[in-house]
Amino acid sequence: MNARKVKKILISQPKPSSEKSPYYEIAEKFHLDLHFYPLIKVERVSLKEFRQQRINILDFTAVIFTARTAVDKFFSICEEMKIVIPETMKYFCISETVALYLQKYIVYRKRKIFFSQTGKIDGLNNAFTKHAKEKFLFPVPEEHNDEVTNFLDQKKINYTKSVMYRTVSNDFDKDEKFDYDMIIFFSPLGIQSLLKNFPDFKQGDRAIGCFGNATAKAVVDAGLRLDCEAPQPDYPSMAAALEAFLKENHKHWA
């Protein structure tokens, strides 16, 4: 066990909205001081950046949404540009969750909304086939993979990508006392943010945990030691993996 006794943990996610979060139970069980602080945040592109893409939103008859963030940023741009979206606009969503989120901005029952039952783009196959003549706008983040666009290309869908948001580092205060015994990451960008904020960061006997294969790879690529990883067969969630790690850690320092 390379790690010191873990008492103070930085969890690089927003604070849970529910008091029933498993993290709070773990904190009570192991007498931990938990801090929730996202190392990354999503920023919308500026209107100047959007205009440089030479896209007129009202030229399109349908929008493809793959995330609630995309919904927020799309309607934010529309609001700032004083664009009124016609009731005839159709919405194609990657999941029911994203589709229902549209209620924040539109009268749901009056609109043509389609969503994938599988949470993947191919779950919209039939909807795309029935509406193949639509002109689609596809809001994307600055860094995105080609899974959706490859599918749209195969289907010969008439679509235009528009970069509407990006993920950036969430800066710490200059006087931040970075005295955590453990840091938990959920994205490769979180590791980039840490090293940007603290260029002289040394792990030492501080523990590092992470969720997801890409994040684990980023930890190792940054020359850091990974002490706690999820998902695993026995620990499908980060909370479960953390609890197992803490049992061993506290036993070692008992």
What is the average per-residue pLDDT within 149-169?
A: 95
Q: 69 vs 15, 74, 141, 148, 166, CA distance in Å?
A: 18, 9, 9, 16, 10
pLDDT band at 246 (very low <50, low <70, confident <90, very high): very high
| pLDDT for position 2 | 65
Q: Is the pLDDT of residue 177 over 90?
A: no
Report d(CA 140, CA 161) in Å as an integer: 7
Do residues 232 and 241 lie in contact, with contact meaning Cβ atoms separated by under 8 Å?
yes
Do residues 23 and 239 lie in contact, with contact meaning Cβ atoms separated by under 8 Å?
yes
Do residues 91 and 105 lie in contact, with contact meaning Cβ atoms separated by under 8 Å?
no
Tell me the per-residue pLDDT of 78-96, one tens digit each, with 9 for 90 and over: 999 999 999 999 999 999 9
First to last CA, the chain: 13
Do residues 146 and 135 lie in contact, with contact meaning Cβ atoms separated by under 8 Å?
no
Exposed, middle or buried by CB within 10 Å (0-12, 13-18, 19+), for 228? buried
What is the average per-residue pLDDT within 97-122?
A: 91
For the ranges 16-20, 40-44, 118-122, 241-245, the lowest mean pLDDT is seen at 16-20
Tell me the per-residue pLDDT of 10-50, one tens digit each, with 9 for 90 and over: 999 999 888 889 999 999 999 999 999 999 899 999 999 99
List the domains of the chain with CATH numbers. Answer: 8-39+170-252 (3.40.50.10090), 43-167 (3.40.50.10090)
Do residues 237 and 231 lie in contact, with contact meaning Cβ atoms separated by under 8 Å?
yes
| Average pLDDT of the chain, as a whole number | 93
What is the average per-residue pLDDT within 84-111?
A: 92
Q: Which residue has the tokens 């029933």?
A: 20
